[in-house]
Amino acid sequence: MKNIVVQKFGGTSLGSIERIKAVANTIKKTSLNEFPIIVVSAMSGETDKLINLAKDISDAPAERELDALLSTGEKVSAALLAMTLQSLGLQAKSFSAAQISMRTTSNHSKAKIIDINIDTIQASIDEACIPVITGFQGINDVGDVTTLGRGGSDTTAVAIAASIKAERCDIYTDVDGIYTTDPNLVPEAKKLRSITTEEMLELSGQGAKVMQVRAMEFANRYDVPIRVLSSFEEGEGTLITKEISSMEQPIITGIAMQDNQTKFTLHGVEDTPGNASGILGPIGDAGIDVDVIVQNVSVSGKTDFTFTIGNSDAKKAQKILESNLIKVNYDKLIVNNEIGKVSIVGVGMRSQSGVASIAFKTLAENNINIQMISTSEIKITLVISLKDMNLAVKSLHKAFNL
Ligand code: ADP
Ligand code: ASP
Ligand code: MG
């Protein structure tokens, strides 16, 4: 019995019939030694094209129909790839999310996977027929199609790898591994041989789109080893795994950035119990993620309360805020979407002090003002002006010798 590996191919990797043929050859090679289960994204640009078609009809298309529309991109690539594999003499079959019972929550465009019935996949394995599964989508409890958020095919792949107990999950993409920061923005970025799941979870959560953050949550919870590698060239890629020998561990592993953020500040909030829950409770209830949250120490009973939200949810959050603020005493609401977030990540921070002061000094030397600071055990996040973001990443990358 061959080891089972899940292999996911991203949009650029499947961007043309030539690319699909190249991918089919990679799969054929894998199938000599291992049994591949394939997860596909839509062909590159396809999801954006579908979103734009919907936007031509309405600014706010019905969420159910939008998901029905977006799910078609992955169906096209799954069928085309299955045909190509067949033309190479391999047994292969495409499967939609409904066919493999990929059950999700009902919140369209950001549904969460609840469970997968692996019977269909297992039956395909038993017949030695390679399953080619649509990424990015699921079905809710009434059978409607849902989608998992941009980049969601990564999550489909890791979730399938976890439920089928695959040997590992290969993420084939347009870069040849995980770098110290986005190599398309910082050419000096260096490729990493390995990175811990915990660090990649933080980097993804802070904007490194090479892995969707939900995929990293699954990898962390179910201990799925991941390899990120290029579908364009041969190479070892980067291994994302729970444990890495401490010899290999630098203090800082990588830097992530995020530009699509909005900062909300409630100025002059009366400092009384229940404010934070009064302000953020209704936003959380609407399923909107709030990221960096800062409340100042109050002077004469008043304080400033500031938090950030991803731009895609910002308008909805602002409406919710404004309709709930009657219960909160404050002077004014300031909304700023010209902000960027830069995050420095590394498990070495646990045992090494001084990382924050190097970061602050570096930004000061570059005349970059820090608007908010938030830290966790292995991460420092700095909210700055959007116009300073690229300079901040480049100078921090240099300051930490990455
Ligand atoms: P796919 O279509 O294969 O899912 P994505 O565009 O979602 O690919 O992710 C790959 C991209 O992630 C790269 O082209 C790169 O610009 C970006 N990226 C961001 N941070 C990193 C990082 N630390 N290492 C590698 N790539 C990164
Ligand atoms: N096609 C979807 C997107 O473009 C999902 C994915 O590629 O992972 O976001
Ligand atoms: Mg992606």
Of 151, 174, 197, the residue at which a domain comes to its end is 174
Of 118, 150, 174, the residue at which a domain comes to its end is 174
140 to 64, 72, 146, 208, 263: CA distances (angstroms): 11, 17, 7, 28, 33
Give percent above pLDDT 70 in the chain.
99
Answer yes or no: is the C-beta of 199 below 6 A from any ligand 1 atom: no
Nearest CA, atom 5, ligand 1: 210
pLDDT at residue 15, as a whole number: 97
pLDDT at residue 181, as a whole number: 98
Quick: pLDDT tens for 270-309.
888 888 888 899 999 888 989 999 988 877 888 899 999 9
CATH number, domain with residue 40: 3.40.1160.10
Kindly state whether residue 230 falls inside one of the protein's structural domains: no
Q: Is the pLDDT of residue 39 over 70?
A: yes
CATH number, domain with residue 284: 3.30.2130.10
Answer yes or no: is the C-beta of 226 below 6 A from any ligand 1 atom: no
Does residue 166 share a domain with residue 265?
Answer: no
Nearest atom of ligand 2 to the alpha carbon of 48 = 4
- Distant-in-sequence, close-in-space partners of 238: CB < 8 Å, separation ≥ 6: 177, 178, 191, 192, 193, 194, 195, 227, 228, 229
Q: Is the pLDDT of residue 245 over 80?
A: no
Beta strands in 298-378 (DSSP E): 302-310, 332-345, 370-376
Q: Is the pLDDT of residue 326 over 80?
A: no
Answer yes or no: is the C-beta of 210 below 6 A from any ligand 1 atom: yes
Which amino acid belongs to residue 117?
Answer: N
Cα–Cα nearest to 36, from 117, 101, 91:
91
Task: Quote helix, strand, coil % in the chain, to nearest 5.
Answer: 40, 30, 30
Is residue 353 very low, low, confident or very high in pLDDT (cuts 50, 70, 90)?
Answer: confident
Answer yes or no: is the C-beta of 228 below 6 A from any ligand 1 atom: no
Q: Is the pLDDT of residue 247 over 80?
A: no
Which sign does the torsion angle of CA 354, 360, 362, 365 carry?
A: negative
Domain ranges, residue 305: 255-399
Nearest atom of ligand 1 to the alpha carbon of 11 = 2
Helix or strand run (H / E) with residue 226: strand 226-230
Provide the domain count of the chain: 2
Answer yes or no: is the C-beta of 15 below 6 A from any ligand 2 atom: no
Kindly state whether residue 209 falls inside one of the protein's structural domains: no
Q: Is the pLDDT of residue 131 over 70?
A: yes
pLDDT at residue 374, as a whole number: 92
Does residue 155 share a domain with residue 13?
Answer: yes
Say how far apart CA 95 and CA 180 lie, in whole Å: 36
Only one residue has tokens 């590159």, namely: 44
Q: Is the pLDDT of residue 248 over 80?
A: no
Q: Report, as an integer, the average pLDDT of 189-202.
A: 96
Kindly state whether residue 138 falls inside one of the protein's structural domains: yes
pLDDT at residue 300, as a whole number: 80
Q: Could you say which ligand is closest to the alpha carbon of residue 42?
A: 2
Q: Is the pLDDT of residue 186 over 70?
A: yes
- Distant-in-sequence, close-in-space partners of 172: CB < 8 Å, separation ≥ 6: 7, 8, 9, 10, 13, 23, 26, 229, 230, 231
Of 174, 195, 215, the residue at which a domain comes to its end is 174
Q: Is the pLDDT of residue 363 over 80?
A: yes
What is the pTM assigned to this prediction? 0.94
Question: To the nearest whole number, what is the mean pLDDT of the chain?
Answer: 94
Q: Report, as an integer, the average pLDDT of 227-244.
A: 93
